[in-house]
Chains A and B, each alone.
Chain A
Amino acid sequence: MIAKKVSSAKKVTGNVVALLVAVFFAFPTYWMVSTALKPRKDLLTSGYDLVPFSVTGSNFATAWAKPGFLSALGNSLVVTLSAVLAAIVIGLLAALALSRMRFKGRKGFVMMLLVAQMAPFEALLIPMFLMMRDLDLLDRLPALALIYFAVTLPFCAWTLRGFVNGIPLELEEAAMVDGCGRWGAFRRVTLPLLGPGLVATSVFAFVTAWNEFLFALSLVKDQTKETLPVWLSGFQTAFGTDWGGAMAASTLFTLPVLVFFLIVQRKMVTGVTAGAVKG
Chain B
Amino acid sequence: MTAVHTTDAAVPTNSSAPRRAAPDGAPRRRGSAFDRALPYLLLAPAVVAILWLIGWPVLSVLVTSFRKLNLRELTRGEVVWTGLDNYAEILGDPEFWTIAARTVVFTGLVVVVSVLAGLLIALLMRLVSPVVRIVLQVAMLLAWAMPLLAATTVYQWIFDQQYGILNKTLVKLGFDGFAGFSWFSTGTSTLAVIGLLIVWQAVPFLAFSLYAGAIGIPKDQYEAAGIDGASAWQTFRAVTWPELRPLLLMVTFLSLLWDFKVFAQIWAMRKGGPDGGSTTLPVYQYLEGISKSHFGVAAAVSVVMVVLLGLLTFQYLRRLVRSQEGEL
Contacts and interface: CB of A to CB of B under 8 A. Distances in A.
User: Do A and B form a real pair?
Assistant: yes
Given A119-B54, A126-B298, A25 B139 contact: yes
Contacts of B303: 123
B33 interface: no
B140 to A, nearest CB: 5
B158 A217 contact: no
In the complex, which range does the number of interface residues on chain B fall in? 35 or more
B14 interface: yes
B143 A29 contact: yes
B295 interface: yes
A35 B144 CA distance: 20
A22 B309 contact: no
B101 interface: no
A173 B246 CA distance: 36
Contact of B148 (A124, A229, A272, A278): A229
A247 B221 CA distance: 49
Given A14-B127, A18-B124, A90-B46, A131 B143 contact: no
Looking at chain B's contact residues, is the secondary structure mostly helix, strand, loop, or mixed?
helix
Contact of A29 (B142, B226, B251): B142
A139 B93 CA distance: 33
A254 B125 contact: no
Contacts, number: 328
A65 interface: no
Contacts of B253: 277
A218 to B, nearest CB: 5
A274 B7 contact: yes
B141 A261 contact: yes
Contacts of B27: 173, 176, 182
B286 A214 contact: yes
Contacts of A205: none
B247 interface: yes
B172 A233 contact: no
Nearest to A13: B127
B153 A235 contact: yes
B50 interface: yes
A213 B149 contact: yes
Given A17-B124, A101-B39, A111 B328 contact: yes
Interface in B148-179: 148-155, 157-158, 160, 162-163, 165, 168-169, 172
Contact of A269 (B15, B46, B154, B212): B212
Interface string A96-131: 111111110011011111101011111111111111
Q: Nearest 10 A-B pairs (CB), nearest first?
A: A150-B53, A213-B264, A127-B60, A127-B57, A250-B150, A22-B139, A97-B42, A26-B139, A102-B25, A94-B46
Given A93-B45, A120-B257, A126-B298, 14 more contacts: A11-B128, A26-B142, A31-B165, A35-B157, A48-B169, A97-B43, A131-B60, A207-B147, A211-B147, A213-B263, A258-B141, A265-B141, A273-B247, A277-B253
6 contacts: A18-B136, A32-B154, A127-B57, A213-B264, A258-B141, A272-B209
